C-alpha cells in the first residue's frame, strides 16, 4: 500500500507540471460551456432539449474528466519510448502495485481536473443530496479509473508517440460523438446506424453524463444500468490495462 502511495505522489507531482496546459484545457471547456452551450440554448428546439446549457453542463464535466484521465497515457508512452520502465521495474514494489498505482493516479488526475467543472455544474443545476453526491463521485471515479486503464493499455502498446496520439484521437472522437454528452439519445435515433446507437447507450461517457442529469435534472430517469455499465467498463479496462502494462514492461 505504501508503494502505491509513493506512486500516487510521483504521478501527482508530474501532473502539476502540466498545470498551465491544464489551465488552457479548462479554459476551452469553460468556453464550450459559457459560449457554445449558451448560444445553442437559443438555437436548440425546446421540444428536444429545454435548456441546452443545463443539458450540456454534466456532459462537459464528463468530457473533461475523460481527457484528464487520459494524460497518464502520454507519460507512460514517454516512459516506454525512453526505456524508463527499467527503472520502474527495479523499484521495491510488486508489478501489481506498480500497475494499480499508475491506474489510480490516472483516476485521481481525472477527479482533480474535473472537480471545478463539477462544482460549476452544481452551481448552475443545483446541489445533489449527500447520497447522490457520493454516487456521482463513485461513478465518476469508476469512469476515470477505467479511462486511465484504457489509456495505459494504448500507450504501452506502441513506442510511437504519433501512433498513440492517433489512436487516442480516434477513441476520443468515437466515444465523444457516439454518446449523450452533446445530444440526447432520442436525437441520435434515425441518424446513426444501430450499432453506433447501441455504443451511445452503453458508452461510459453517456452513463456518467446521464447519471448526473438524472439526479440534477430528473431526465433521463435514473436506472441501475447506468452504474452497472460504468462498473463493467471500469473493471474491463482497469484489468486489461494493468495486464498489458505489466506484460509490455517485462518484455521490453
Partner 1 sequence: MTKVWLVVERDLRTFLQYKFLLIMRAIWFVAQITFFGLISSRMVIVPNYYDYYVAGVVVMLLYSTAMFIGYDIFEEAEHGVVEYLLSLPISRKEMVLGRSIGGGIRSFVYVGPLLGVVLAIIGIANPLNFLVAFASLFLFAFGVSGMSIALAVGIKSHDKYDILLGVLDALIVRLSTTLYPKAFMPNLYSAIAEINPLTFASDLFRWGAGLESVYLTSPLTAIVGLFLFFSTFTFLSVAIYEKRLEGGGWE
| Closer to partner 1 by Cβ: residue 43 or 131 | 43
Residue 155 interacting with partner 1 (CB under 8 A): no
Q: Burial, 156: exposed, middle or buried (Cβ in 10 Å; 0-12, 13-18, 19+)?
A: buried
Give the DSSP letter of residue 55.
Answer: H
Residues 111, 233: Cα–Cα separation, whole Å = 17
Q: Closest Cα partner for 201 from 166, 170, 173, 228?
A: 228
Least separation in angstroms between CB 44 and partner 1? 5
Rounded Cα distance, 18 and 16, in Å: 5
Using the rule CB under 8 A, which residue among 122, 177, 222, 252 binds partner 1?
Answer: 177
> Grid coordinates in use for 191?
441518424
126 belongs to the binding site for partner 1 (CB under 8 A): no
| CA torsion angle 167 170 171 176 (round to 10) | 150
Residues of this chain, 45-84, that bind partner 1 according to CB under 8 A: 45, 48-49
- Reference 244, options 158, 147, 145, 152; nearest CA is 152
Q: Tell me how far, at minimum, the Cβ of 89 lies from partner 1, in Å.
A: 29
The answer to whether residue 124 forms part of the interface with partner 1 (CB under 8 A) is: no
- For the chain, give the number of residues: 252
Tell me which of 88, 89, 133, 192 binds partner 1, using CB under 8 A.
192
Stretch that binds partner 1, among 39-47, 146-154, 213-221, 238-246 (CB under 8 A): 39-47
- Size of residue set near partner 1 by CB under 8 A: 37
Measured from the CB of residue 49, what is the shortest distance to partner 1 in angstroms? 7
Applying CB under 8 A, which residues contact partner 1? Answer: 20-21, 23-25, 27-28, 31-32, 35-36, 38-40, 42-45, 48-49, 162-163, 165-166, 169-170, 173-174, 177-178, 182-183, 187-188, 190-192
Amino acid at each position: 500500500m505504501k508503494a502505491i502511495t509513493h506512486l500516487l505522489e510521483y504521478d501527482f507531482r508530474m501532473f502539476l507540471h502540466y498545470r498551465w496546459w491544464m489551465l488552457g484545457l479548462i479554459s476551452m471547456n469553460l468556453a464550450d460551456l459559457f459560449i457554445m452551450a449558451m448560444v445553442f440554448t437559443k438555437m436548440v428546439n425546446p421540444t428536444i432539449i429545454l435548456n441546452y446549457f443545463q443539458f450540456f453542463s454534466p456532459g462537459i464535466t464528463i468530457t473533461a474528466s475523460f481527457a484528464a484521465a487520459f494524460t497518464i497515457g502520454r507519460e507512460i508512452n514517454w516512459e516506454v519510448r525512453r526505456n524508463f520502465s527499467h527503472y520502474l521495474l527495479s523499484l521495491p514494489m510488486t508489478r501489481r502495485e506498480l500497475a494499480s498505482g499508475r491506474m489510480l493516479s490516472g483516476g485521481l488526475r481525472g477527479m482533480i481536473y474535473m472537480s471545478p467543472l463539477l462544482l460549476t455544474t452544481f452551481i448552475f443545476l443545483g446541489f445533489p443530496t449527500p447520497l447522490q453526491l457520493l454516487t456521482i463521485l463513485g461513478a465518476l471515479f469508476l469512469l476515470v479509473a477505467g479511462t486511465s486503464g484504457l489509456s495505459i493499455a494504448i500507450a504501452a502498446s506502441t513506442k510511437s508517440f504519433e501512433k498513440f496520439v492517433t489512436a487516442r484521437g480516434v477513441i476520443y472522437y468515437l466515444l465523444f460523438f457516439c454518446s449523450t454528452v452533446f445530444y440526447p439519445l432520442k436525437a441520435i435515433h434515425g441518424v446513426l446506424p444501430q450499432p453506433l446507437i447501441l455504443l451511445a447507450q452503453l458508452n461510459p461517457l453517456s452513463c456518467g453524463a446521464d447519471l448526473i442529469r438524472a439526479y440534477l435534472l430528473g431526465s433521463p430517469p435514473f436506472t441501475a444500468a447506468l452504474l452497472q455499465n460504468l462498473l463493467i467498463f471500469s473493471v474491463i479496462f482497469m484489468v486489461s490495462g494493468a495486464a498489458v502494462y505489466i506484460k509490455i514492461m517485462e518484455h521490453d
